[in-house]
Structure 1
Amino acid sequence: MACEKGEGDVVLLDFWASPFGQRVRIALAEKGVAYEYREEDLANKSRMLLEMNPVHKKIPVLVHGGKPVCESLIIVQYIDEVWAHPNPLLPTEPYPRARARFWADFIDKKIYDCGTRLWKLKGEALQEAKKEMICILKLLEGELGDKKYFGGDAFGFVDVALVPFTSWFYTYETSAGFSVEEECPKLAAWAKRCAEERESVRKTLYDPQKIYEFVGLLKKKFGVE
């Protein structure tokens, strides 16, 4: 499929449950970019994936005009630059732009790692991971404040970075015994608002129960009971 703007075809190498790949899908949807989706078997990676991301050998990879772009936040920024309109994701002014990048980087470094520990660990280690996750979410809620989205009235870069993890919240909550809605009501309301008001989010995210079932398979794979 050809993209609406820009040169060359657009191909996305991805895996359905990946919150990092979902970032890219949401960004492409926000921009109205048509693309070819190629689902990867992460246990048997395709030759194309290995050739297009020889350093990390991971999804997602956006291939635009035969040229690969890797790492989800870099891909989202690339999409925002190549298809600048509609729906710009990053602010135009340097300071708010830097601030958005800071929080997206914070999400990248914190959420996935801590969330993985929630379903892998037990006992005291699990309780420590739970405390850390609640702290992370509260910091994000503090940045959100009373705004509609992280950037204000417009859905943007930080929202794209974080919203895929909301479909994982049920798994985190069930694994560690806490409630995002109780701990961070504004953040929970933001997640609901994104799903209800952004078609890009609604059509990309999977049912939390399906994610929970997928994590159950991962537990078996890693011998986590």
Structure 2
Amino acid sequence: MAGVKLFGCWYSPFSRRVEMALKLKGVEYEYIEEDLSNKSPLLLKYNPIYKKVPVLLHNDKPIAESSVIIEYIDETWEGPSILPKDPYERAMARFWVKFIDEKCAVAMWKACSSSGEEGEKAKEEAAQLLKFLEEELKDKKFFGGDNIGLVDISANFIGYWFGIVQELKGLELLTKEKYPNFCEWVDEYINNNFVKENLPLKDKMIEIFKALA
């Protein structure tokens, strides 16, 4: 445990991604909670470029950015594979993670935080992007097939965090009528025993979202 430390924040979906990856692999680690409004000197030292969580410290060597960290974890420790073994499937998993992070999550967060014409435009964009994920999940239990993998872990913001925000905001963007495949994945994902144990409590998330708002 002394050789593995994780700087994170309990309500960050990106931190939770990395914690899930470590636990899937059975890696013991020391968790260091960061106050994002008053970042520690160590966090700024280990991630001077982005200055954000998560940061994994392994044998005093820092790795930043959640998707990069997860790939490092998958390649470093034995245990269940997080990324597919097949080169093409690995490439596609990376593609969907990039799509989720750079397109979907951005548009969905904007749809929640914007109003008026800008908000409507963001909702339309998010709705179009969700259609791609809906199609990708056709005839699948998880993005990784029968088992939770990289894309599932990376989609946790949409699967859990966004659902809470949508409920608080009274939005009807992600619904079973519009996205039956995706909503079925959400149910499978958040009710999976392993995932359930590693998600922040809903009541606490509601408190933090209200405080941030």
Shift of 1:184: 1.2
- 1:103–1:158: 8 Å Cα contact kept in structure 2? yes
- 1:106 alignment partner AA: F
Shift of 1:109: 0.4
Among 26, 36, 42, the residue aligned to 2:30: 36
Give the aligned partner of residue 175 of structure 2.
180
- 2:47 alignment partner AA: N
* 1:197 to 2:201 alignment: no
- 1:32 alignment partner AA: G
Helix, strand or coil at the partner of 2:48: coil
What is the 5 A alignment of 1:85-164? 85-164=78-157
How does the TM-score come out when normalised to structure 2? 0.92
- 1:27–1:76: 8 Å Cα contact kept in structure 2? yes
What is the 5 A alignment of 1:6-17? 9-17=3-11
Helix, strand or coil at the partner of 1:148: coil
- Distance change >3 Å, CA 24–CA 65, structure 1 → 2: same
Cα distance in structure 1, aligned partners of 2:209 and 2:60: 33
What is the 5 A alignment of 1:203-218? 203-218=197-212
Q: How many pairs does the alignment contain?
A: 211
- Distance change >3 Å, CA 137–CA 207, structure 1 → 2: farther
Helix, strand or coil at the partner of 1:38: strand
Percentage identity across paired residues of the two chains: 43
Cα distance in structure 2, aligned partners of 1:63 and 1:31: 16
Shift of 1:176: 5.8
Q: Any gaps of 5 or more consecutive residues in structure 1?
A: 3-8, 220-225
- Distance change >3 Å, CA 215–CA 115, structure 1 → 2: farther
Cα distance in structure 2, aligned partners of 1:213 and 1:119: 16
- 2:105–2:157: 8 Å Cα contact kept in structure 1? no
Give the aligned partner of residue 55 of structure 2.
61
- 1:188 alignment partner AA: C
Helix, strand or coil at the partner of 1:129: helix
- 1:50 alignment partner AA: L
- Aligned residues: CA RMSD: 1.7
- 2:98 alignment partner AA: D
- 2:5–2:58: 8 Å Cα contact kept in structure 1? yes
Q: Any gaps of 5 or more consecutive residues in structure 2?
A: none
How does the TM-score come out when normalised to structure 1? 0.87
- 2:42 alignment partner AA: M
What is the CA deviation profile of residues 45-81 of structure 1, one whole-angstrom value per residue up to 9, with x for unaligned ones?
1111011001111100000111000000000100000
- 1:167–1:211: 8 Å Cα contact kept in structure 2? no
Cα distance in structure 1, aligned partners of 2:71 and 2:115: 37
